Structure 1
Amino acid sequence: MRRAILTLLVFFLSSASLMAGETRGSVTNLPIPRFVSTKTDETNVRRGPSLTHRIDWVFQRRGMPVEVTAEHGHWRRVRDRDGAGGWVHYSLLSGVRTVIVEQDMLDVFITPDPDAPISARFETGVIARLGECNADWCHISAGGYKGWVRKATLWGVDPDEIRD
């Protein structure tokens, strides 16, 4: 009972601070929300921020992009592109940025220009490493291929995010 009350209190405080406009994590002082990726082939997603909470499901792919929405000690509340989420121990997450391609047969251009030559095409669901991003385009790489794609065709990068 005490653990359930603590979990609800953490959830309430995290939600209240986000609604109040707080944009930094209380533990890391990093932006909330922010994108990270899974570090291991199996990442347990728990119902609450401790090992005693039930595992609701498991990410079964290394490098999967997730969005951190809250922090509590060594735990990060995350959600995936479908909105499913839960608590993950920080040691299972990486700051390496990845994205998921959301458009089937996405043209990957040599330069950030729709008239540039196409270097590859990626299928929906491909997980790619995220590089530089300008206002409309991001440089990504996967499977030995790399190039520029429209930012709007990716999940795992904010629409207004600029990366050097």
Structure 2
Amino acid sequence: MRCAQRCCVAVLALVLAGWLGAGLALAQTASPSGLPLPRFVSLRAEEVNLRSGPGVRYPIDWVITKRDLPVEIIAEFDTWRKIRDHQGSDGWVHQTMLTGRRTVLVSGPAGTQRRLRRTDKDDAASVAVLEAGVIGRLLQCPRSSEFCRIEVEGYQGWLRRDEVWGIYRGEFID
């Protein structure tokens, strides 16, 4: 009898440990959207209010006035997303102000120029010259290349990954 009780307690303890472990693992990876964090998205609207907290009762800290600007979602609460821009400014926005359409920002100090290349080679011919701060639509970042293919105002070409902000190192888009 005593052995049966010990076995029952041991089995119950194992079941509870497994259940709690699965719950903790789920809590670490789950977000309200079910999508991974952090991740890049872009601004849907021409004017987006960055709030100090997740709700309209929180004050507006910043107003971003750049449609399609890539931003990084770093946290989620209900229908609110905490985002960070390329300068490190962060705040909360409603999910309707964001789109999953991927864009990138040409990086570098003001006045920096980057060559948009015809192919994904450093010595490829230029299609256009882009200044830092220009936003392009992200088309492709293949595993086999250090370049990403983007489109800017009808021009398509390749920029080095380290010349844009809006894609993670080791992230590939085909």
**TM tier, smaller:** 0.7 to 0.9
Unaligned runs of 5+ in 1: 1-16
Code of the aligned partner of 2:34: N
**Aligned residue pairs: how many?**
144
Per the alignment, residue 134 of structure 1 pairs with: 142
- Asked whether 1:110 is paired with 2:115, we answer no
- Asked whether 1:70 is paired with 2:75, we answer yes
Which whole-Å CA distance do the structure 2 matches of 1:158 and 1:114 have between them? 21
Which whole-Å CA distance do the structure 2 matches of 1:121 and 1:25 have between them? 42
Which whole-Å CA distance do the structure 2 matches of 1:88 and 1:99 have between them? 19
Per the alignment, residue 95 of structure 1 pairs with: 100
Code of the aligned partner of 2:72: E
Q: 2:129 aligns with which of 121, 126, 129?
A: 121
Which whole-Å CA distance do the structure 2 matches of 1:154 and 1:85 have between them? 19
RMSD (Å) for aligned C-alpha atoms: 1.5
Which whole-Å CA distance do the structure 1 matches of 2:161 and 2:36 have between them? 20
Q: 1:95 to 1:139 in 2, by over 3 A?
A: same
Deviations 1:21-48 (A, max 9, x none): 94x4511111100000000011011000
Structure 1 stretches of 4+ moved >4 Å: none
Displacement after TM superposition at 1:114 (Å): 1.2
Q: Which has the higher helix share?
A: 2
Per the alignment, residue 14 of structure 1 pairs with: none
Per the alignment, residue 11 of structure 1 pairs with: none
Q: Which moved more, 1:135-144 or 1:45-54?
A: 135-144
- Give the TM-score normalised by structure 1: 0.84
Per the alignment, residue 48 of structure 1 pairs with: 53
- Give the TM-score normalised by structure 2: 0.79
Contact 1:74/1:90 (8 A) holds in 2:
yes
For 2:115, what is the secondary structure of its paired residue? strand
Which whole-Å CA distance do the structure 2 matches of 1:74 and 1:130 have between them? 25
Per the alignment, residue 5 of structure 1 pairs with: none
For 2:45, what is the secondary structure of its paired residue? coil
Which whole-Å CA distance do the structure 1 matches of 2:107 and 2:81 have between them? 25
Displacement after TM superposition at 1:134 (Å): 2.1
Q: 2:169 aligns with which of 147, 156, 159?
A: 159
Displacement after TM superposition at 1:144 (Å): 1.8
- Asked whether 1:144 is paired with 2:149, we answer no
Percent identical pairs in the alignment equals 42
Q: 1:148 to 1:25 in 2, by over 3 A?
A: farther
Deviations 1:67-112 (A, max 9, x none): 0000000000000011101100000000011111014210111110
Which whole-Å CA distance do the structure 1 matches of 2:154 and 2:132 have between them? 17
